[in-house]
Each structure stands twice: as C-alpha cells, then as structure tokens.
C-alpha cells in the first residue's frame, strides 16, 4: 500500500512539472522581450545620437536681420508670377511646414507630381528636394519661385518688383551690403528656414537621460527599429536619415533618375528625417500613406512592386503588437509644433 502511494505521489509530481512546462510554452515562457535588461536598452540607445546645431555655410552666416528678411520673403506672395502664392502656401507652419495634401497644388491650380516636403530640419540634409536636385538650402529656396508649376515667377521680373519696394531695398543693403539679387534672395530665405528645427522631442529627452520621457512601448519599438524591423539601415545619424536615395517600391515616378540619368536611380527618393513625423502627414514622396501606422504596415509587407525596389525592402513579419510598439517609438520623435507668426510685409 505504501509503495502504491509512493508511485501515485511521484506520478502527480511529474504531471505537475509537465503542466508547468506546458503553461510556459502556451504563454511564451520567459521571452527575450520580458527579459530585456537595462543594459540591453542602453546598448540599443547608444546607437542613436542627439541632433546638434544646424550647419551654417561660411558664405551665409546667420544674423537676426537676415532671418527676418528671409521670413518676410517666405510669406510674401509677390514672389509668385500672379502675386497669389508664397513659399508659405505649400509649407505652412500649422501643417508641419508642409501643406497636408498628398501632392502639392501649384500655380493657378496646377497639379503637383509630389508631396510638399517639410521645411523642418531641411538644413541638415546634404541636398534638398525629394530627388536631391538642389545642392544647398540656398539653391532650394529659389527653385520653386522659378518653377512653372509652382510659383512661376521670372527672377529678373521679381528683382524689378522688389526693387520697387523701398523697405526691401534698404533691408538687402543692410543685410548683405549689396543689392537685391537671386543669390541674396536665396540666402535670406535659407537663413530663415534654418531656424525651423525640431530636436527637443520626447525621444531626445530620453537620449539625454530622462528614462521616463518615452513609454515602455516606445522602448520596445526602439529595439525593433535597430533590430527586427531594420529601420536604422537607412534612418541613421543624428537627423535619422542617411542622406541617401532609396526605391521603396512606389511606381510611377523616376525620382532621382531625373537628376542623374542613371538607371540605378530610377524610382529612388531621399531618405527623410523621422523627427517631427507626427506633424508632417501624409507620407512618402507621393503622399500615398495617411498615417504613421500606414507607413509601418507598408514597410512590414515589404513595400511596393517597382522593379528597381531596394533590396532592403523585404517583409518584416512584425506582429500587430510590434507594429504598435514601432509606431509608439516613431511618435516619440514628434516634438512640439513650431509657431511662427506672420510678419508685417513691406
């Protein structure tokens, strides 16, 4: 009898242990996610850098007077051919310095081919526009003014028009010790645009040592960003952009090819910064994705079907929870909207 009791007790112990083991399997047991240590997070965190001061070209130093002149020009509709459009028309402060549209609406209602890129942090790029055709912010600043589908203003005619405004003549002379010119117009607008910077985000506070600045979900998203999702392959460096050009699979636009004429560049577009992402919807060069979650899901499926798609574009196999965590991380880079009051124009 005693021997039977002993056997039964041993059997119960085995069943109990087996049950615990099965429960661990059902619940995932001790997953690596649950066992993520502070040291692990610190290793991931160390792969990011805080954004420093915006680069200032030696031939265009910043002054308060130049910034104010650039701001006036940015808001002035006289810079367009019909005096109805300004830089601000497509790069609106309250819309994250974009226009909130999938594709811009240009001169006299012309349908734009691409999304209006935000001005935010544009001074950190090595080149500007989606296809990188402007080598500097100064060059970018005057491009839309002369574009037939954007502001459609003849530059010589604009200089004549601005010279008829005494306050502008005086301002250009004071700022540049020079007359009104295409080069000086570009320098003034670029100086103003270099003040449009977002770098004091929740994520930056976290990088600065405030561990409570972002949520646990965002921290998990940060791990995915540099790990399973592989976002850091392109979104690296302090501005979270490799300043390169990638084809994410969206068809219908030759992109960088229009600048270089190289087959390899067909469908490639500049890697944008991820800072201020919560302010700058819709996304992608064609504005085809309405939300940050839409963007993550687009990348999760491996992007689109363009034949020249970057080999880095592949299915990520993120779970629904992982998608949410990655979105939370990207949202932590949103920052506060930049408020710019319209200047009094001369």
**Active centre residues (catalytic):** 150
Beta bridge partners of 246: 269
Q: Specify whether the CB–CB gap between 333 and 239 falls below 8 A.
A: no
Helices (H), 64-180: 64-75, 87-90, 137-146, 155-163, 166-176
Report the distance separating Cα 53 and Cα 287, nearest Å: 29
The label of the residue with tokens 């920052």 reads: 335
Distance of alpha carbon 46 from the chain centroid: 21
Q: Specify whether the CB–CB gap between 292 and 327 falls below 8 A.
A: yes
Q: Specify whether the CB–CB gap between 127 and 243 falls below 8 A.
A: yes
Report the distance separating Cα 144 and Cα 141, nearest Å: 7
Q: Specify whether the CB–CB gap between 200 and 337 falls below 8 A.
A: no
The label of the residue with tokens 């977002």 reads: 198
Radius of gyration of the chain (CA): 26
- Helix, strand and coil percent figures for the chain, each rounded to 5: 45, 5, 50
Distance of alpha carbon 81 from the chain centroid: 30
- φ, ψ dihedrals at 240, nearest 5°: 55, 45
Report the distance separating Cα 219 and Cα 229, nearest Å: 14
């Amino acid at each position: 009898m005693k021997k039977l009791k002993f056997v039964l007790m041993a059997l119960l112990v085995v069943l109990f242990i087996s049950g615990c083991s099965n429960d661990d399997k059902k619940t995932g047991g001790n997953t690596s996610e649950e066992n993520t240590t502070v040291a692990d997070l610190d290793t991931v965190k160390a792969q990011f850098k805080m954004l420093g001061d915006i680069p200032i070209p030696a031939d265009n130093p910043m002054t308060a007077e130049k910034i104010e002149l650039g701001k006036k020009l940015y808001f002035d509709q006289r810079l367009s051919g019909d005096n109805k459009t300004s830089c601000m028309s497509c790069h609106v402060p309250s819309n994250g310095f974009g226009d909130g549209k999938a594709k811009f609406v240009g001169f006299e209602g012309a349908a734009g081919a691409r999304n209006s890129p935000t001005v935010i942090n544009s001074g950190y790029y090595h080149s500007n526009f989606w296809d990188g055709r402007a080598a500097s912010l100064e060059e970018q600043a005057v491009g839309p003014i002369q574009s037939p589908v954007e502001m459609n203003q003849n530059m010589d005619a604009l200089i004549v028009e601005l010279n008829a405004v005494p306050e502008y003549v005086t301002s250009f002379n004071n700022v540049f010790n020079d007359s009104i010119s295409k080069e000086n117009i570009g320098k003034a607008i670029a100086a103003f645009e270099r003040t449009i910077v977002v770098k004091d985000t929740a994520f930056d506070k976290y990088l600065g040592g405030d561990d409570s600045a972002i949520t646990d979900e965002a921290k998990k998203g940060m791990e995915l960003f540099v790990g399973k999702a592989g976002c850091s392959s392109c979104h690296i460096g302090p501005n979270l952009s490799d300043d390169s050009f990638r084809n994410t699979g969206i068809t219908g636009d030759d992109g960088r090819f229009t600048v270089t004429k190289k087959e390899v560049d067909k469908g490639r577009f500049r890697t944008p910064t991820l800072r201020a992402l919560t302010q700058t919807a819709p996304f992608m060069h064609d504005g085809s994705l309405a939300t940050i979650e839409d963007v993550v899901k687009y990348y999760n499926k491996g992007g689109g079907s363009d034949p020249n798609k970057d080999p880095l574009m592949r299915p990520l196999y993120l779970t629904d929870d992982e998608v949410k965590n990655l979105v939370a991380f990207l949202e932590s880079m949103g920052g506060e909207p930049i408020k710019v009051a319209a200047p009094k124009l001369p």
